[in-house]
Amino acid sequence: MVSSKNIVALTGAGISVESGIPPFRGKGGLWEKFDPMEYAHIDAFMKNPAKVWDVLIKEMKVIIDNARPNTAHKGLAKLEKLGLLKTIITQNVDGLHQMAGNTDVVEFHGNFAWQRCMECNNKCETIKIDIGKIPPRCECGGIYKPECIFFGEMIPQQYLRRSEMAASTCDIMLVIGTSANVQPAASIPLIAKQARAKVIEINLERTPLSKEISDYIIMGKAGEVLTTLINEIEHLLNL
Ligand code: APR
């Protein structure tokens, strides 16, 4: 890694678990509690925004408002400061990479920090939304929808292009805390692999990438693994 010219990281919910944000899948995952097709699909939101706000979004707002970057986020920020990491492609909507100090972050699934009125397109910061009134409405009377990509929605073209460019030009891709189940994000490591990059996977468990895509698999908590990695890199760089 110390001789790398261009490291790109792809991150998923697992990197934010140590910040108190539950993952989506597996034990204690959000989708164990809520059926994603009933609460996180755009058709479900359009059909009954009040229900989706009342059950899922209110809970997410409280969790994300109180979350702070953990040692894994801070580790990636340090890798950027060392000039090794160039870009983060994240599936997370929590904004914790930017809060940790990373400057080039592709928010592949959007960001929960903003809401958009479905009538007049007015944008409002989520922190300013009063969740006492569900569904929250814009001055025009339109209903606010989080600026996150719901199931059934397309990934914006500029996010796809930037991610494909970053993945096809990196020499190392760190894949951290994703179950690699959701497309098109789960194909990004394949683009890196085809561009002859080394794929390093960091996860508590094996994923569909582990068999044929990942060159190295480091099993462990993202915070602990990245702390050890950064210490080793700083040692090798005599810092
Ligand atoms: N450190 C490292 N990995 C972890 C940790 C941890 N502390 N905790 C959990 N993990 C791993 C799990 O083993 C799992 O493989 O993180 C992964 C989380 O997987 P998911 O919950 O499926 O999250 P993600 O892959 O980001 O989901 C993709 O699906 O629901 C949609 O839009 C949503 O962006 C999300 C997308």
pLDDT tens, position by position, 71-121: 999 999 999 999 999 999 999 999 999 999 999 999 999 999 999 999 999
pLDDT at 2 over 90: no
Q: What is the pLDDT of residues 178-200, one digit of tens each?
A: 999 999 999 999 999 999 999 99
Choosing from 15, 24, 229 the residue with most ligand 1 atoms within 8 A of its CB, the one to mutate for a pocket test is: 24
- Rounded to 5 degrees, φ, ψ at 112 are -75, -10
Q: What mean pLDDT value characterizes the chain?
A: 95
Choosing from 204, 219, 228 the residue with most ligand 1 atoms within 8 A of its CB, the one to mutate for a pocket test is: 204
Q: What is the pLDDT of residues 119-145, one digit of tens each?
A: 999 999 998 888 888 999 999 999 999
35-63: average pLDDT: 92
Across 120-179, the runs of DSSP E, i.e. the strands, are: 123-125, 144-148, 172-176
Query: Is residue 109 among the annotated active site residues?
Result: yes
Instruction: Please give the distance, rounded to the nearest whole angstrom, from the Cα atom of residue 22 to the centre of ligand 1.
Output: 9
Helix or strand run (H / E) with residue 218? strand 216-219
- What pLDDT does residue 15 have? 98
- What pLDDT does residue 105 have? 98
Q: What is the pLDDT of residues 157-176, one digit of tens each?
A: 999 999 999 999 999 999 99
Instruction: Please give the distance, rounded to the nearest whole angstrom, from the Cα atom of residue 143 to the centre of ligand 1.
Output: 29
CA distances 137 to 5, 50, 143, Å, are 47, 11, 4
Distance CA 136, CA 115 (A): 10
Instruction: Please give the distance, rounded to the nearest whole angstrom, from the Cα atom of residue 223 to the centre of ligand 1.
Output: 14
* Residues of the chain above pLDDT 70, percent: 100
pTM here is 0.96
What is the residue with the minimal CA distance to atom 17 of ligand 1?
A: 178
**What is the torsional sign of CA 128, 132, 138, 139?**
negative
